[in-house]
Amino acid sequence: MKVLFVYYVPSGGVETLNRQRCRALRLAGIEAHCLYYAWGSGMQNAADFPIYVTRNDIEIKHILDSNGFDVIVVTTDHASFPRFRMLGFKGKFVLEIQGYGPKSVAHAQLTQAAPYVNEHAAALLNPSTPHIAALFQELYPHKPQFNFNNCFDSQEFTYRPYPRSASPIMAWLGRIEDNKNWREFLHIGHQLKQHVPDLQMWMFEDIQLSQPLEREQFLALIEELDLSERLTLRSNVPHAEMPYYYSVIGDSGGFLCCTSKVEGAPYSVLEAMSCRCPVLTTDSDGVSTSVYHNLTGKFYVLGDIQHAVAEALVLMNDRSLREQIRSHAKGHVEQNFNPHSYAIHFAGLLQSIGM
């Protein structure tokens, strides 16, 4: 059985997902390849499966003809279905949605996708994201739908002890765009430093995906809030190096702060949890399968800076609760996002659509 995963660019959570699941699916005897339309920073990450980067029809046709894929799983790009048919693909399509950002955008995009989904898609897939699953039910009640957690290799990407940071670190990971809500992170840090004078702030981003106007506003707010001396920006850190950073953040007495307005199934949360780095997050919908308040992480109310600061101080100062959260979070990732479970679920999907 051969599967091709298709996405726009190898960056962010989808690139991590594809790398993880191409390996996991071998456990079910499934050979998986990836096709991206353009180069992205994720190409620096090591991979032991075929990856193609092209949007050229002749090259894509050669890839399809040479490999004889049984199924193509397209993430988001529903309009590509007729294109792959035109290029000679005769197998089955699955439309996967990992997230669109705002719920209004998700509704609009999935409504627009109707002609493509109804004609071409054999199934719909999402990682148990409540608002996406609800839209699937609303818009495509007669299509087979599959909702199961993404996979995560918590044995490879895991906590390691390193020399302890002298100061607590509050971290953030994402793109400098509105939905990732970087403004809120900066404001939380600005308020939190009044209580934690030696607080350090680390931000991990992909500078190539930053919008110029948004970045201009971002740099201006850093200056306005006087955060330059305590803020460290890192762009395109290789994925293999991130366990070091998460482990150091967790052991510093700090935390990962996720400020997104809406998320699908953010890998940054799973990565932090696996490395014993506690997470403070908005209830951005897609985190509902990974974060349980005061058990595997902490929630704060989106837009409520004071609430975020209060929860952060509890997470930093209540050592007993902090250690419980760190331990429970790591165990939760190991049990509920393991590659074996993903392989079983995905094989079940293929079987149900007649493969």
Q: Would 61 be classed as within a structural domain?
A: yes
Q: Are residues 189 and 101 in the same domain?
A: no
Q: Are residues 96 and 201 in the same domain?
A: no
Q: Are residues 123 and 228 in the same domain?
A: no
DSSP string, 29-53: T-EEEEEESS--GGGGS--SS-EEE
DSSP helix/strand/coil, 127? coil
Q: Would 55 be classed as within a structural domain?
A: yes
Q: Are residues 345 and 212 in the same domain?
A: no
In the block, tokens 């680390």 appear at 202
Q: How many domains does the chain have?
A: 2
Q: pLDDT band for 207, please (50, 70, 90 cuts).
A: confident
Q: Would 135 be classed as within a structural domain?
A: yes
Q: Are residues 260 and 348 in the same domain?
A: no
DSSP helix/strand/coil, 263? strand
Of 231-240, 255-264, 297-306, which has the strongest mean pLDDT? Answer: 297-306
Average pLDDT, the chain: 95
Q: Would 188 be classed as within a structural domain?
A: yes
Q: Would 162 be classed as within a structural domain?
A: no
Q: In this predicted model, what pLDDT tens digit does every residue of 283-298 receive, in sequence order? A: 988 898 999 999 999 9
Inter-residue contact 259 to 285 (CB < 8 Å): no
Q: Are residues 248 and 145 in the same domain?
A: no
Q: Are residues 177 and 137 in the same domain?
A: no
User: How much is the pLDDT for 2?
Assistant: 97
Q: Are residues 271 and 346 in the same domain?
A: no
Asked if the model's pLDDT at residue 206 lies above 90, the reply is: no
Residues 6+ apart with CB under 8 A from 201: 169, 170, 171, 172, 185, 189, 227, 230, 231, 232
Q: Are residues 214 and 85 in the same domain?
A: no
The whole-number average pLDDT for the span 20-46 is: 93
Asked if the model's pLDDT at residue 41 lies above 90, the reply is: no
Q: Are residues 205 and 293 in the same domain?
A: yes
Q: pLDDT band for 43, please (50, 70, 90 cuts).
A: confident
Q: Are residues 253 and 320 in the same domain?
A: yes
Q: Would 163 be classed as within a structural domain?
A: no
- pLDDT: which is higher, 40 or 145: 145
What is the domain range of residue 347? 2-151+338-352
Q: Would 158 be classed as within a structural domain?
A: no
In the block, tokens 């409540």 appear at 130
Q: What is the CATH number of the domain that holds 304?
A: 3.40.50.2000
Inter-residue contact 42 to 26 (CB < 8 Å): no
Q: Would 104 be classed as within a structural domain?
A: yes
In the block, tokens 């014993």 appear at 276
Q: Are residues 215 and 331 in the same domain?
A: yes
